[in-house]
Amino acid sequence: SNWTLAFSEQSLEMETEERTASRKPFIVLLNLVAWIILITAVVLGAIHVNECPIQPQIPIYLIIIGGSGMILLMLAYWKNSLDEGVWKVRCLLCILCVVIFSIVWFLTVAELVAKCLQARDMAYCPYSQFPVGAAILTSGGTIITGCNVENASYGLTVCAERTAIQRAIAEGHRSFTAIAVTCDIKDSFVGPCGACRQVLME
């Protein structure tokens, strides 16, 4: 019976090794694709930072997504190379911190976009029929929204971005980290106009 048990264990080990060997090419390919995507995201974000005509914050999002992904991959490689001990625990804690940061950041961006879309529905635009919504994220984590308010005298029309920034200033905010702007063209996100950019920069 001991011989049978030893033979069964040996057979099981061989099957496990064969399965692992058959999966290695797939795992290597998957890792390679992941690295290519993440590096591309960081490079594109760095090249076009503050220059995206659709949404100025998209390059920053790409940099954060790519950077977080690469850090997670490197920590995972490091963890797999460590034996059980203090350093492995520290590595796991680092991975947990990066994952929590990524989730919180993603939820913040999702909330910013959702409030931007809600603000668009409140737009007053009887002349152009072009509703625009904006949502600004302050450095303190508060989201301030605004919509475009048109007037028969076109020069008195106020853009959504300026409505949001004026509300934020009136509430005492002075530092901002992100802005989302959207119109009614298939929920596409648009960049601020020149006048709004000037106000935001100041």
The set of catalytic residues is 161
* Residue 153 is labelled as binding a ligand: yes
First to last CA, the chain: 83
Is-contact 94 88, C-beta < 8 A?
Answer: no
Q: State yes or no: 15 annotated in a binding site.
A: no
Is 68 known as a binding-site position?
no
What DSSP letter does each residue of 81-149 carry, written as one string? HSPSSHHHHHHHHHHHHHHHHHHHHHHHHHHHHHHHHHHHTT-B-TTT----EEEEEETTS-EEEEE-B
196 assigned to a ligand binding site: yes
Asked whether residue 178 is marked as a ligand-binding residue, the answer is no
In the DSSP assignment, the letter for residue 158 is B
The answer to whether 151 is annotated as binding is yes
Q: Residue 159, annotated ligand binder?
A: yes
Q: 155 in helix, strand or coil?
A: helix
Q: Is residue 61 a known part of a binding site?
A: no
CB atoms within 10 A of CB 97: 12
Across the chain, how many H-helices and E-strands are there? 5, 3
Return binding residues for substrate: 148-154
* Known binding residues: 148-154, 159, 193, 196
Binding-site residue positions for Zn(2+): 159, 193, 196
